[in-house]
Amino acid sequence: MQDIPQKVTKILTEKLGIAASEITPEANFVKDLGIDSLDYAEIVMEFEQTFDIRIPDDDAEKLQTYGQAVSYIQDKVDKK
C-alpha cells in the first residue's frame, strides 16, 4: 500500500487543521504539531479505522513522530 504517508498526512491535516507543509518525518506530534492527548486518541482511532489495524496502547504511546507513525502503520499493514 504505497499511499500510507499520504493517508496519514490527510488524517492529520483534517483532524488538526494544519497545513501539510508542517508535517515532516521528524515532526513530533506534541512539540511540533501541537497535538493534545484527546487529539492523539482520536488520531490513533482514525489510523486503526483507515488502515484496518489494531494499535495497542503501549505501541500508541511510542508513536511520537509522523515518521514513526508511518513506519509502524506500514509494518502492521504488511503483516496482515
What stretch of H or E contains 79? Answer: helix 66-79
CB 47 within 8 A of CB 1: no
At which residue does the C-alpha cell 497545513 appear?
19
Active site residues: 36
* Cell (9 digits) for 42: 482520536
* Cell (9 digits) for 4: 500510507
